[in-house]
């Protein structure tokens, strides 16, 4: 099975790839790719130096843009033979540094594998290549009265391959699930160039269920080349309730009460006052600016189902202390309510030179507690933070505002973010809900998991990728890193940004 976690160098220290021979690598790749699919000149590489987490940048050695699975196989065989690290890349919209290049490695862009291979309306499924945009699947399925349910805020640009890598969610994931709940089968290529398939079109299949393993694996086990997704019938009707609160704790309690009542809305989102003010100036969604927090709660189904659920939700919101409640009167108003929530990230970009988007998950009943803690952190770090939550499943997206051109600001923002993640774990949650670990949260993995658990992760990685060539240095920390981070935490009142992140 190749290297195991006990092998010196596998978990105790990050691999050294400095001996990669670029000239030899380019020569081999040029034999399997046309010149237009191989970028290696210095001026061609900077566009690939980061993903959506632009605070971390690294120019790669080479970029390849295959157009077929056959080319993907050939590329991976070459990289395996020459022991060259490979980072798979989709649209680059990821927010945890998962697609940041390796300085001695290849970026394998899947942007040109963008065909929708099949729409099967009767079986309610679609077969697509990894470079297909999330929203494009729904657009192709629309004539059949179907759509693809997971809807990240970046769905207009993000690709299904990236969604599989990060197990992406979206504002409607509470009812319809994350990416994993909407997949049937994933086809990929291992670092050895072997084509493998995970999942099945059947309701059940013999053997290990490896589809959940590849989903959310952040490009560390295989490179995705084809995805079969589940399509969902469009509901007859959808209506959205907007509720305003004069206290963030009341809003958090309202979320917990809705779920406790057995109601699973199509979407249940929360924004604090700072977020609604920023969004309203950008989108003009009609949000009440005097509210300390607002909730967006959507119901969908038949008209009768929607009316009944809206009535129950409204009563719970009133009992929870909502100071204003609106129900969308038509489709245009519903879309306007959601347009504001989905524009939260670009709205933050309008009011700050830079922002650092976090992604943690906590128990729903502790949302108000977390917001109060973040308000205290704003004073501690002298930085503003606007907050948007997938409140129904406790998934936080605090946006820390800073200026990367101001000395020390980025380090402070990272320390602020680290404290939010550590608190998420302390409150009984986790360090990520949908953005993945990447580089951003790799230190906090040491807080989330014990040493035996991390060793188990490395064993799984070694089973697929014995040489550690796929996306090295991401998602799973080395034991040395965890030991160092543990010493660092003991020496500070709160966790600090890692001094040499990333270690490439």
Residues 291, 314: one domain? yes
In a domain, 219, yes or no: yes
Residues 174, 144: one domain? yes
Q: The whole model's pTM is what?
A: 0.91
108-128 tens-digit pLDDT: 999 999 999 999 999 999 999
CB atoms within 10 A of CB 13: 13
Q: What is the model's pLDDT at position 204?
A: 85
- CB within 8 A of 78, min separation 6: which ones? 25, 28, 29, 32, 84
In a domain, 66, yes or no: no
In a domain, 311, yes or no: yes
Residues 121, 224: one domain? yes
Residues 172, 251: one domain? no
Q: How far apart are CA 372 and CA 247, in angstroms?
A: 10
Please say whether the dihedral angle defined by the alpha carbons of residues 37, 41, 44 and 50, taken in this order, is positive or negative. Answer: positive
Q: What is the model's pLDDT at position 203?
A: 84
Contact 440, 97 (CB under 8 A): yes
In a domain, 223, yes or no: yes
Q: What is the model's pLDDT at position 15?
A: 81
Q: Which of 206, 233, 260 is the last residue of a domain?
A: 233
Q: Which of 233, 262, 284 is the last residue of a domain?
A: 233
Q: What is the model's pLDDT at position 489?
A: 78
In a domain, 383, yes or no: no
- CB within 8 A of 161, min separation 6: which ones? 88, 90, 110, 113, 129, 130, 131, 224, 227
Q: How far apart are CA 466 and CA 190, in angstroms?
A: 11
141: helix, coil or strand? helix
How does strand 146-147 pair with strand 232-233?
antiparallel
Residues 162, 246: one domain? no
Q: How far apart are CA 309 and CA 263, in angstroms?
A: 8
Q: What is the model's pLDDT at position 488?
A: 82
Domain with residue 217: its CATH number is 3.30.465.10
Residues 217, 249: one domain? no
Domain range enclosing 201:
116-233
Nearest to 245 by CA among 297, 341, 319, 323: 323
Residues 196, 242: one domain? no
Instruction: Burial-class residue 1 by CB neighbours within 10 Å (0-12, 13-18, 19+).
Output: exposed
438: helix, coil or strand? coil
Q: What is the model's pLDDT at position 13?
A: 53
Domain with residue 279: its CATH number is 3.30.70.2190
Q: What is the model's pLDDT at position 387?
A: 95
Q: Which residues are registered as beta bridge partners of 195?
A: 189
In a domain, 27, yes or no: no
Residues 212, 229: one domain? yes
Structurally, the chain folds into a number of domains equal to 2
In a domain, 502, yes or no: no
60-92 tens-digit pLDDT: 999 999 999 999 999 999 999 999 999 999 999
Q: How far apart are CA 318 and CA 327, in angstroms?
A: 13
Residues 315, 207: one domain? no
Residues 129, 176: one domain? yes
288-337 tens-digit pLDDT: 999 999 999 999 999 999 999 999 999 999 999 999 999 999 999 999 99
Strands (E), 302-374: 324-327, 354-357, 360-361
Q: Which of 345, 364, 398 is the last residue of a domain?
A: 345
Residues 220, 299: one domain? no
In a domain, 435, yes or no: no
CB atoms within 10 A of CB 290: 11
CB atoms within 10 A of CB 413: 24
Residue ranges in the chain whose pLDDT is less than 50: 1-12, 493-504
Residues 130, 220: one domain? yes
Contact 344, 271 (CB under 8 A): yes
- Edge-to-edge strands of the sheet including 223-230? 116-120, 125-128, 223-230, 183-189, 195-199
Q: What is the model's pLDDT at position 498?
A: 39
């Amino acid at each position: 099975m190749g290297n195991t976690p006990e092998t010196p160098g596998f978990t105790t220290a990050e691999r050294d790839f400095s001996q990669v021979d670029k000239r030899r690598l380019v020569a081999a790749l040029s034999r399997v790719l046309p010149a237009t699919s191989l970028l290696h000149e210095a001026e061609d590489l900077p566009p690939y130096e980061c993903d959506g987490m632009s605070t971390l940048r690294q120019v790669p050695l080479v970029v390849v843009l295959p157009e077929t699975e056959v080319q993907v196989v050939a590329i991976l065989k070459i990289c395996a033979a020459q022991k060259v690290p490979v980072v798979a890349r989709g649209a680059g919209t990821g927010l945890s540094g998962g697609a940041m290049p390796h300085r001695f490695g290849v970026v394998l862009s899947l942007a040109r594998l963008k065909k929708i291979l099949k729409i099967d309306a009767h079986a309610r499924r679609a077969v697509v290549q990894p470079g297909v945009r999330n929203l494009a699947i729904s657009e192709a399925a629309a004539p059949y009265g179907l759509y693809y349910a997971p809807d990240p805020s970046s769905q207009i640009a993000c690709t299904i391959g990236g969604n599989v890598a990060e197990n992406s969610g979206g504002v409607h994931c509470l009812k319809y699930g994350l990416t994993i709940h909407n997949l049937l089968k994933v086809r990929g290529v291992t670092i050895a160039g072997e084509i493998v398939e995970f999942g099945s079109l059947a309701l059940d299949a013999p053997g290990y269920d490896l589809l959940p393993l590849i989903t959310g694996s952040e490009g560390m086990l295989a490179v995705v080349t084809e995805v079969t997704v589940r399509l969902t019938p469009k509901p007859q009707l959808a209506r959205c309730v907007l509720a305003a609160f004069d206290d963030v704790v009341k809003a958090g309690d309202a979320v917990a009460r809705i779920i406790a009542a057995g109601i699973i809305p199509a979407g249940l989102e929360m924004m604090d006052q700072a977020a609604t003010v920023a969004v309203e100036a950008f989108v003009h969604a009609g949000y009440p600016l005097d509210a300390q927090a607002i909730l967006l709660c959507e119901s969908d189904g038949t008209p009768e189902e929607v009316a009944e659920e809206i009535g129950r939700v409204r009563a719970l919101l009133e009992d929870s202390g909502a100071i204003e409640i609106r129900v969308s009167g038509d489709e245009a108003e519903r879309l306007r309510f959601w347009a504001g929530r989905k524009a939260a990230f670009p709205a933050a970009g309008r009011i700050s030179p830079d922002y650092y988007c976090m992604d943690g998950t906590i128990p729903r009943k502790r949302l108000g507690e977390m917001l109060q803690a973040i308000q205290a952190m704003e004073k501690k770090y002298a930085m503003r933070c606007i907050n948007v939550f997938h409140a129904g499943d406790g998934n936080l997206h605090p946006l820390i505002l800073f200026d990367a051109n101001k000395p020390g600001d980025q380090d402070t923002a990272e320390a602020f973010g680290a404290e939010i993640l550590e608190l998420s774990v302390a409150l009984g949650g986790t360090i990520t809900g949908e953005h993945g670990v990447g580089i951003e949260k790799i230190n906090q993995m040491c807080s989330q998991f014990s040493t035996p658990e991390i060793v188990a992760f490395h064993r799984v990685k070694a089973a697929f990728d014995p040489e550690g060539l796929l996306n090295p240095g991401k998602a799973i920390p080395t034991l040395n890193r965890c030991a160092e981070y543990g010493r660092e935490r003991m020496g500070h009142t709160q966790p600090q940004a890692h001094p040499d992140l990333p270690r490439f």
